[in-house]
Amino acid sequence: MLFRHRTGKFDLSQRTLLIGIVNVTPDSFSDGGKFLDPESAIAHGVELVAQGADVLDVGGESTRPGAQPVSEEEELRRVLPVIEGLRAKTSAPISVDTYKAKVAARAIEAGASIVNDISSFRLDPAMAEVVRDCRVGVMLMHMQGTPQTMQTNPRYDDVVREVREFLQERVGFAMGRGIDFESIMIDPGIGFGKTLEHNFQLLRGLAEFQSIGRPVLVGTSRKSLIARTVGDDLASRDWGTAATVAHAIARGAHAVRVHNVGLCRQVARMTDAVLYS
């Protein structure tokens, strides 16, 4: 299965894509403020590539539950120097984690080749045109509500079916706006408008997303479902993440978005070997 982006493509038929997280925010749930300085964020991204990251996902606005939005100007001030610096120091494709079309457009000018839109074009309808016109890859995620409201009593009759149908519709929407089918990746949105049990049901039901025909991205890294299950300290969150990464790949995930790339690279390589060698 191919995933195309602005500067190349990945063949994900027999290997898992590792997406390293570069948070440039003061309030991220995991490492808020740690890489707010551009030079620190750039150095961190370079290190993630050295650990095995295939893609670097740069975000300038926290989307943890209850997080408050930031202005376009502030988001750009945070991410542009980092994207420019990473583009100069690594050949790894860069993704910009934003739902704002103007931020995405400027980030692409600075060197991003993928857009990671948690709203799947719903919060800023102009985003679809930016993705189409710039010919970048796009990650479309399911989220119930917004980051401010998503954890206020999320409800589903059948979470796997409803999330799958949503993503199927969003892929159709993207293609209807002229976006290439092979440039789309889908993400069920673990932790975005889901209870603990909803998250576990999605992880158990990942194989059902194969019917959409696009690579499936799973992002569990250090999230609350892990902290609530195995402990809130960093080591517990990372080992819990590793377990969910192995499970997700075995159930059909093509890509994982993680903080601890070195650990998850070993997990992905071993799981890929079991599945495909």
Kindly report the CATH number assigned to the domain that includes residue 251: 3.20.20.20
Structural domains counted in the chain: 1
223 has catalytic annotation: yes
194 has catalytic annotation: no
The per-residue pLDDT string of the chain (277 residues; one tens digit each, 9 = 90 and over) reads 999 999 999 999 999 999 999 999 885 555 545 566 899 999 999 999 999 999 999 999 988 777 788 999 999 999 999 999 999 999 999 999 999 999 999 999 999 999 999 999 999 999 999 999 999 999 999 998 777 666 777 889 999 999 999 999 999 999 999 999 999 999 999 999 999 999 999 999 999 999 999 999 999 999 999 999 999 999 999 999 999 999 999 999 999 999 999 999 999 999 999 999 9
Residue 91 belongs to domain spanning: 2-276
Of the residues 106, 170, 223, 265, only one is catalytic, namely 223
199/213 Cα distance (integer angstroms): 22
Burial 231-270 (b: 16+ CB within 10 A, else e): eeeeeebbebbbebbbbbbebbbbbbbbbbbbbbbebbee
- pTM for the full predicted model: 0.94
